[in-house]
Every structure is written in structure tokens, then in C-alpha cells.
């Protein structure tokens, strides 16, 4: 993406709100994710610093989402999945789960809702193997096209992985098309982020989700995001157990300590947890450890939909249908 005319202080909208004028004001999670993404791409360590300070370029490190400065050029996710748009589909508000309030907690007791953001990725198939071995179910809040992985509906092995999720009883949900902050983009772009992901998911499994998680946990009422998500018929799902795997990709023991402490605390009857299936150590190391703790409590791992006592029929819509 060409950098001509971009001020040096401009930073990708996926990394910070446009109103923030200094890198030191970035939220810790956003900085951590920016650094993690640069490590995953295998680019030089200085990339994250260049990203935060707004350096410009035309290579994939600058033009790949979620860090591409989309108002100034063409990003790699600037693609539209094949098939009719879902934008004007009917969106009845089905079921008893709130479409108005942010969701942080389960309704069901004795469970941990297992949720994974940012996939599918190269470790997702292994994660499905682990889930199967424990008899646990999970919700996958998926991005459609970012981190140079290609569009999920046309790039192997992702269609097969997503079909496997459905076949094995997991829940597929949306984390937007290319992981932009939904509070910091216009309504039209926000809706485009959702309907592109809908179309891609429907191209794979014939339906699209009613559950979503905002990237960076950013979907404010003031920005219009609440209204847009309700108009599109989405439940906004967050979490009350943050494993912080994104902060500890190479020091996952810290995340193990977190889940040990939280699950050992008395009084709670359930949790809604978050991990990221693009973090290798989270999949290969933390997950089994976490699952063993859940089993030791006599609890089970479930989808977000199950933890909210929402029947699976309410988790999806059919293109052109309800």
C-alpha cells in the first residue's frame, strides 16, 4: 500500500483510535497484539515499533490486515467473498439471549465456555483434536481474512477445518472480516466487516452466525456499534476469564498461573474464557492444562451458546432466510 501523503503520526485504525495522538496512549492489549502479530508474520522485531509510529511502506508488512491503513490505499483483505451479499437479509431477534447488552457471563452453572479468537490458523486442527479427546466443545470467533492467511472460504485448509468444527459440535461465530476496531470505523465499513465474514462462512457451511466478539473488545454504544450489531442480529460476547495468552506467547506459564488461580477461587459457578488459536503455546501447552483443571472441578467445557442456554438452532441464520 502506497505511503505517499500519510503523516508519520498516522497509525493503523486496527491498532488505535484515530483520536489517539501518541503511541504511549495505546492500550496495553492493542500493543501486545501488534507485537504478537509481527512475531507471527516472522518480520523483523522493529516492525511493531514502525507500525506504532506510523512508518509507511508497500510490502505485506504494511498492507496486510488488521494493521493496514485502509483509508490510504488497498489492503490485502479488500476482497469480497463470492455470492450474494447478506446485508439486506431479514434479521429477526431470535431466542432469549440479549441483543442489547454486552455478554460477559454464563447462565448455565458448572461450565467453562471455551472460546478462541482470531482463527482459523495453523494450530486450529490440533486444537480440535485436543477438544475431541476431552469431549469438550468450543466457540470459534473467526476472522475472515487477515494475518496473510487468505480468505477463509477459498484458502486451504480452512474450509475443511471449519466444516469439521460444525461436524464435531462446536460453534462458529464472527470476529469480523479483518479484525478492525469496530468503535473506530464508519458504520458502512463496520457492516461491511460483518457481512463479508457472513458470506464467507455461509460459503463453507451454508449458514452464518448470530454471535460475535468485537476485535480488541471495542464496540461502543457511542460509536453506533451497538446499534449496528443489533440491526445485524448479533449477540456481543466478551469474557470474564482472560487467559492472557496473547500477552504470553512464549511464556505461557503465566497464563497457566492465571487459570490455576481463577479456577481455584471459590464462589464462582461458571466462566466465559478467552484464548487465541493463533498462539501456538496456547494450543499446544495451555489448553490441555486448562482442560485438566476444568475436569478436576467436575465441570465441563462448552460453547458460548450452551453456556447461555441458547439452543443451537439460534446460533445461525441462513442467507436470504431468517
Nearest to 129 by CA among 291, 246, 313, 275: 291
Catalytic residue among 67, 117, 228, 277: 117
State the DSSP H helix or E strand holding residue 293, giving kind and residue range, or none if neither: helix 287-296
- Is 170 labeled as catalytic in the residue annotation? no
E strands, 199-303, in order: 208-209, 211-212, 235-236, 241-242, 270-276, 300-302
| The three cell numbers locating residue 166 | 460444525
Catalytic residue among 65, 179, 276, 277: 276
- Three-state secondary-structure class, residue 195: helix
**DSSP letter at 217?**
G
Range 280-308 burial, b when 16+ CB lie within 10 A, else e: bbbbebbbeebbebbeeeebbbbbbbbbb
State the DSSP H helix or E strand holding residue 109, giving kind and residue range, or none if neither: none
- For the beta carbon of residue 164, count every other beta carbon within 10 angstroms: 16
Rounded CA-CA distance 163/196 in Å is 18
Please, which residues have CB within 8 angstroms of residue 269's CB and are 6 or more apart in sequence?
A: 109, 110
The DSSP bridge pattern shows strands 111-117 and 270-276 to be: parallel
| The three cell numbers locating residue 29 | 492489549
- Is 276 labeled as catalytic in the residue annotation? yes
Query: Which residues have a catalytic role annotated?
Result: 117, 276
Amino acid at each position: 500500500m502506497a505511503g505517499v501523503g500519510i503523516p508519520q503520526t498516522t497509525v493503523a485504525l486496527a491498532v488505535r483510535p484515530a483520536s489517539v495522538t501518541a503511541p504511549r496512549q495505546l492500550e496495553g492489549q492493542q500493543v501486545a497484539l501488534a507485537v504478537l502479530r509481527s512475531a507471527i508474520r516472522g518480520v523483523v522485531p522493529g516492525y511493531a515499533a514502525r507500525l506504532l509510529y506510523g512508518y509507511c511502506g508497500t510490502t505485506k508488512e504494511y498492507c496486510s490486515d488488521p494493521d493496514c491503513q485502509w483509508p490510504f490505499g488497498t489492503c490485502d483483505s479488500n476482497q469480497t467473498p463470492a455470492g450474494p451479499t447478506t446485508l439486506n437479509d431479514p434479521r429477526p431477534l431470535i431466542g432469549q439471549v440479549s441483543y442489547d447488552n454486552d455478554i460477559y457471563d454464563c447462565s448455565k452453572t458448572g461450565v467453562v465456555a471455551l472460546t478462541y479468537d482470531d482463527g482459523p490458523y495453523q494450530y486450529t486442527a490440533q486444537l480440535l483434536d485436543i477438544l475431541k479427546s476431552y469431549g469438550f466443545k468450543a466457540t470459534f470467533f473467526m476472522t475472515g481474512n487477515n494475518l496473510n492467511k487468505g480468505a477463509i472460504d477459498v484458502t486451504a485448509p480452512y474450509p475443511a477445518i471449519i466444516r469439521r468444527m460444525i461436524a464435531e459440535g462446536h460453534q462458529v461465530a464472527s470476529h469480523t472480516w479483518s479484525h478492525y476496531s469496530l468503535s473506530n470505523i464508519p458504520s458502512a465499513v463496520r457492516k461491511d466487516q460483518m457481512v463479508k465474514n457472513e458470506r464467507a462462512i455461509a460459503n463453507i457451511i451454508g449458514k452464518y452466525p448470530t454471535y460475535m466478539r468485537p476485535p480488541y473488545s471495542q464496540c461502543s454504544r457511542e460509536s453506533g456499534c451497538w446499534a449496528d450489531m443489533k440491526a445485524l442480529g448479533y449477540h456481543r460476547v466478551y469474557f470474564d476469564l482472560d487467559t492472557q495468552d496473547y500477552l504470553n506467547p512464549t511464556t505461557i506459564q503465566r497464563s497457566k498461573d492465571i487459570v490455576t488461580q481463577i479456577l481455584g477461587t471459590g464462589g464462582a459457578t461458571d466462566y466465559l474464557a478467552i484464548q487465541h488459536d493463533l498462539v501456538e503455546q496456547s494450543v499446544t501447552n495451555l489448553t490441555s492444562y486448562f482442560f485438566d483443571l476444568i475436569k478436576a472441578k467436575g465441570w465441563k467445557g462448552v460453547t458460548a451458546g450452551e453456556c447461555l442456554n441458547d439452543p443451537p438452532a439460534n446460533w445461525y441464520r441462513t442467507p436470504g432466510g431468517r
